[in-house]
Every structure is written in structure tokens, then in C-alpha cells.
Amino acid sequence: MVYVVRDFNTPTNHLGEMVAYLSNYKIIAVDILNLHGLGQAWIRIKYDISIDLFNTILSIFNKLTMDIYQDKLEKGQMKGIYKVDPEYTGLSITPEYKDIICLDELVENSIYSGYWGKYITSFTRESVALLEEYDADEYENKQSYIVFGEILENGEFIYNKPILSNDYYET
């Protein structure tokens, strides 16, 4: 499976990552690993096949990044692992991350690591063509906490409830 990762594991922190992949149900699946604690968060986003996947995935990553980091900042959990924007007087962050695309096989300009396997060091408009849909059950585990989202006509990404670990159960 080929997928996109927003990797927050930088030399100054080890926070986790977001993984985005396409399912055969026209869903962009985003799994958030370790950014909100030890568990995972699962987000499933409906998309139309006519959208620009590159801009859409970046929009999803950017919104989730800012929402999660802003929440952590407001709770005082982000000391020392972000850059404060000196031009902004309120609570603001610029998280460190890199976007990569993980591959099934080595291609030109790809790298291999023990953590990511085969990957390309930047997610670009050209590399989005490498993404493939995977065959999956519509919602893998219906018992878990899953956040659902959609891409509006104007390109805005919205979702229906707070991002919580998939081991959280609604009662």
C-alpha cells in the first residue's frame, strides 16, 4: 500500500505521525498515531474523485495539525517542542514536521529506513499519482471511536466530533 505521512518525529521531538491513505469506498482514511497520547485516532473522510488530491490531503493534514497542536498548546502540553510565531501575539504554533510518501517498492529518488521502509522525502503534486486505493471494509471496526469528515465544495475540511483515541467508547 502506498500512503502519505505527516511525520512529527524531528531531531527535537518524537510526537508521532498522521498517515493518510485511500480506500476503495472513496474515503481518505487518516490514522493519527501518538499525537494525542498513546492510542490512535481514526478519521474517515468522504471525497469526490474529481477533487485535487494533493491540495485536499495537505488541507486535511494542516487542519488536523493546527487543531491538535492548538489544543495541546492551550492545555500547556507543548512546552519546548514548537516554534512560537513572533509576529502573532496570541497562542500560535508552527509545528515541525515533514510530509513523505511511503512506497511498496523502491523507485528513483526513494530512500529506505528501518522505520518507514521505502519512501520519498517529500509529498508533492507529482508524487500523489503514486497513491493507490486499498481494499478495505467500509469502517474496519464499527465498535471503535471513529471521527467522520468531509470535504466541502469550497475545499474546506470539516469533521464531526473531537479527535480522541480509538480505544474511547461512546456510551
pLDDT tens string 104-134: 888 878 888 887 788 888 899 998 998 988 8
Over 80: is that where the pLDDT of 52 sits?
yes
CA distance 131 to 80: 35
Q: What percent of the chain has pLDDT over 70?
A: 73
The pTM (predicted TM-score) of the whole model is 0.81
Over 90: is that where the pLDDT of 38 sits?
no
Instruction: Tell me the residue ranges of DSSP E strands in the chain.
Output: 3-10, 13-23, 27-33, 40-46, 98-102, 111-113, 117-120, 133-134, 146-151, 157-159
Taking all residues of the chain, what is their mean pLDDT, rounded to a whole number? 79
**Predicted pLDDT at 142:** 62
45, 28 contact by CB (below 8 A) = yes
Domain boundary assignment for the chain = 3-159
**Predicted pLDDT at 80:** 47
Residue 4 pLDDT class (50, 70, 90 cuts): very high
Determine the 3-state secondary structure of 50 from DSSP.
Answer: coil
